[in-house]
Structure 1
């Protein structure tokens, strides 16, 4: 990231691991962690069930709601809120395919220089 300073002003990194151990080094500063188990931040880590329902309705896929819930099941964040992974939901909307879309993404080490 350090050699990209002229092109990058801000970044948002989302993941389940603490970023300090990831090897980004001294170029990463002013880091703030917003844990999804804290009620204040819980609804900002994915699509809520209501949002998924609205998205499916908007894209004329409302009849898929039960299958989407079965496939992607959601995950529990703070205050028991159920969230859905935005990547998986968007990929389903785009491809009409219920599958594990994350297996098709690159890992951080594959992103190269």
Structure 2
């Protein structure tokens, strides 16, 4: 197995960019053992998002602020991709997953009662 690795160094500028400060605050609150995985996953996620649309990474990082929430993300995705109602589609899938999960939990509980 090839054990080659790639070291990546980046700098955040909290005195210049508010989103850099928010990112630092978030990272500082992560447990030490999770930070390496977080950095790795962030880089991979950035590559995946950029592959979908190169504008998304810049837009999401620019709008990352105290007020940033899931609705802001949906809005950026809808405006950038041209797909409307992404948030409604995600909510419907989430509701269906919750219903399935509830049915599965109910089935498990019923099985335990039968024993």
The alignment's TM-score, normalised by the length of structure 2, stands at: 0.29
More relative contact order, 1 or 2 (CA 8 Å, 6+ apart):
1
Higher relative helix content: 2
Which structure has the highest strand share of the two? Answer: 1
Report the TM-score when normalising by structure 1.
0.29
Task: Tell which structure's C-alpha radius of gyration is larger.
Answer: 2
